[in-house]
Amino acid sequence: MLTKMNTINSQKVVLCFLGVMLLLINIYGEFNTLRPHEIHESISDPSKFTEKELYYAINNTEGTRRTVVRQLNEIVNKGISHYWDTTDEIKLNLNVPVWENYILYALSFTGDTRFVNYEFANYKKAIERGLGLCSQQSIILSELLLRRNIPAKIIGLDGHVIVSAEVDENMWWILDPNKGVVIPHSINEVEKNPEIIEVYYKNAGYENLQTMISYYGVEGNVHANEYGVIGFTKRKYVIEYVFYIFKWLLPILFVLPAMLLLHRSNRPPATIN
């Protein structure tokens, strides 16, 4: 019986040590940033915003709904670098670092591709990192629009990801934050006649127009039924949200048994009258 109690107590001590280590990792992460400064500077166009400048620009958008939609699309285009070099995952923080979320970090070694070269469902984390593909930029833009009470849905094209925003009652525009393009037509209109988009991408300076036109065909497109990131990747949003709660909850649960054990050991022995 005594041996069993000693084993249990030893396990509690080990869990306590693990909990303390995880708490220290979390605290270190609170003082770190996902944005890879040196790499980000080397891949960014001079017009790109820093994180601070990006938030300043976001908070100072104003005007009609149409104006705000255009402004936010441009801000995301200039503030988030279209860069995804998987040969440099560590420096770019493409895999979630251990100090950011040790659960997501551990899952990147399981072979589950959902956690390798990770795209954030949390738009603030995506902004913090400052780089991503069209899908990451569309997540950011859709969430920024929703926070301005502008309905926005993410649309997965066959080879590209864009945002559809309601700029007026029953009037939807296509936004491409990755290319910095605004198309004042609904996705339904464009799917019927993809050539509509040519002039807008051409005016933005893009030359490979036939490729862009091919993306907008009906085949392979996925229209979200709900707004924002929830409509685009609801399961990922929920999983990520839960893991960010559990990264703090687990170490606390590990430490508590040892704290209770220590408290009991410090209690004075009961006296017998």
Count of helices and strands (H, E) across the chain? 12, 7
Could you tell me if 185 and 201 are in contact, meaning their C-beta atoms sit under 8 angstroms apart? no
Single pTM value for the model: 0.89
Average confidence (pLDDT) per 10 residues, the chain, 273 residues: 56 82 96 80 65 92 95 94 75 92 96 92 95 94 97 95 96 96 96 95 92 89 92 95 97 81 55 52
pLDDT for position 2: 46
pLDDT for position 20: 92
Could you tell me if 147 and 55 are in contact, meaning their C-beta atoms sit under 8 angstroms apart? no
pLDDT for position 48: 73
User: How far apart (Å, rounded) are the C-alpha atoms in residues 119 and 136?
Assistant: 6
Q: What Å distances lie between residue 139 and 27, 111, 114, 143, 151, CA to CA? A: 27, 25, 16, 6, 13
pLDDT for position 36: 84
98 contacts: CB under 8 Å, gap ≥ 6: 25, 105
Could you tell me if 137 and 177 are in contact, meaning their C-beta atoms sit under 8 angstroms apart? yes
Could you tell me if 164 and 156 are in contact, meaning their C-beta atoms sit under 8 angstroms apart? no
Q: What Å distances lie between residue 273 and 80, 85, 119, 267, 270, CA to CA? A: 74, 75, 67, 18, 10
